[in-house]
Amino acid sequence: MTPLSELPQPRKIIAVHTAFESRAAQRGRRPQQPSYFLKAPSSISYSGASVPRPEGTELMAFEGEIALIIGTSAHRVNMAEAWHHVGWVTASNDLGIYDYRAQDKGSNIRSKSRDGYTPLGPSALPAEDIDPTDLRIRTWVNGELAQEGGTTEDDLIFPLPQFVADLSQHMTLEPGDVILCGTPAGSTVVQPGDVVEIEVDVVSTGVSTGKLKTVITEEAGDFDPALGMLPQIDDKQREEAWGSREAAGLASNPHALSQELKEKLLAAPTAGLSAQLRARGLNNVVIEGVYPQTPGTKLVGVAATLRFLPNREDLFRSHGGGFNAQKRAFDAVQPGEVLVIEGRGEPGSATLGDVLALRAQQRGAAGVVTDGGVRDYAAVQDIGLPVFCGNPHPAVLGRKHVPWDSNIAISCGNATILPGDIIVGDDDGVIVIPRDLVAEVVEGALAKEREDEWVAARVAEGHSIDGLFPPTGKWKEEYQRWLENNS
């Protein structure tokens, strides 16, 4: 083990955005390639240091990480050579203030480059003695284990040497430079007075860096609005900082329907709901040309959206491959959501297949609505996820579509759908209900359904529909008496 004071001073600190499978699963997005941001060398501090959270901020979070310290210069090295350029391994804490994260738009300059916000140590392990797949990182907050992760291929999305090799294609890594290798699941918010401890050890030998100790304190904020952006937070940043909506004290899905409202929507036919919307001046609420794969299917949920553009070969090359917008949308759909897909009514290509349908089902989606085609039609139907679509088609999306964006306003079947709208489908088709109208619309539809059932019973008894459908005069009075007696 080597004291950090004996190592070369870094000229740059490079941090990986997401590297651990557990972290990617927690956040619902998994990168196809590594991405990075820079931290200032002045952000370095050492074990035992106090690191302040400025007054006026709320969301200071720790991230226990493995730090690689470059031993010999690396320029355009390959994967096989990369680990030989790592001199030492130590523990690090990639502290950040999420109150500034949205304003930084991925650079993390203000949120993570503050003085002292990269604690390192307490000692460094020689990399030449270490198998890069044999490391473990653990984090404790006030003595309680908060994070644990390894560096096997099951733990990491990218192997540690890849960061060295990749970065060396674009810049020369110099002795002392630090690479922070991402954090496992479990990162969350800390408060002044909390003590964070982080340790990296070699699994096979037990050799350890020792525990990197950081004490969280508080200091004056003194934010001058004339100089730049002030701290600002919203529920998205709270969720990211705490690690989950539940940990942040937020509802698991801000658009989720109550069970009572969902049951009422399940009982209400789309025909009745459509009539109620028409009575309120909304005529363009039907998603045209889509029907259930399995007759008798009822669909109720909150809209999430995905948009396809017409295929253009250059755009498909840049947007069609890898973890594209289509895959991201299916991978991020929330329980109770209906993924509504804008396929422009194009019947000549599919917009989903069996693997994506299975992913949506496993995520707890309420269903999928697309005005385009579905491939693996029978297999998708067998999965049991409610799917409303236009037609089967065997072709992949690149024939007619470019996956473009998600969770935006879209057009599906000549209807406009916003994220958070309520989607209801049955054998008659699918309708869209604005969120602020759903309670009164479903109550009106159920009341009309009850009236229609009473009218149908009278017609079955042989009565004429004149004055009965809808009830007027004596029939209306008789229906009101029936309601009073059967309420």
Q: Give the separation between CA 207 and CA 211, rounded to whole angstroms.
A: 12
Relative to beta strand 391-392, strand 373-374 is: parallel
User: Quick one: DSSP state of residue 100?
Assistant: G
CB 155 within 8 A of CB 25: no
CA dihedral 177, 130, 23, 386 (to 10 degrees): 130
Q: Which residues are annotated as a binding site for Mg(2+)?
A: 376
Task: Please report, for residues 67, 362, 363, the alpha-carbon distance to residue 359 in angstroms, rounded to integers and kept in the order given.
Answer: 34, 5, 6
- Other C-beta atoms lying within 10 Å of the C-beta of residue 116: 17
Q: Give the separation between CA 362 and CA 482, rounded to whole angstroms.
A: 46
Q: Which residues are annotated as a binding site for substrate?
A: 353-356, 375
The terminus-to-terminus CA distance of the chain in angstroms comes to: 80
Relative to beta strand 44-46, strand 118-126 is: parallel
| Helical residues (DSSP H) of 59-186, grouped into ranges | 79-82, 101-104, 109-112, 160-168
User: Quick one: DSSP state of residue 372?
Assistant: S
Q: Which residues are annotated as a binding site?
A: 353-356, 375-376
Handedness of CA 20, 21, 26, 32 (dihedral sign): positive
Cβ-proximal residues to 406 (8 Å cutoff; 6+ apart), any chain: 304, 305, 306, 307, 325, 328, 329, 332
Considering only CA atoms, which of 299, 18, 68 is closest in space to residue 185? Answer: 18
Cβ-proximal residues to 265 (8 Å cutoff; 6+ apart), any chain: 257, 273, 300, 422, 424, 438, 442
Cβ-proximal residues to 100 (8 Å cutoff; 6+ apart), any chain: 57, 110, 111, 229, 231, 232
For tokens 């809209």, name the residue.
303
Tokens at residue 162, please?
Answer: 């890849």
User: Phi, psi at residue 145, to the nearest 5°?
Assistant: -65, 125
Q: Give the separation between CA 412 and CA 405, rounded to whole angstroms.
A: 14
Q: What is the 3-state secondary structure (H, E, C) of 227-294?
A: CCCCCCCCHHHHHHHHCCCCCCCCCCCCCCCCHHHHHHHHHCCHHHHHHHHHHCCCCCCEECCCEECC
Which helix (H) or strand (E) segment is 453 a member of?
helix 438-460
User: Phi, psi at residue 144, to the nearest 5°?
Assistant: -100, 130
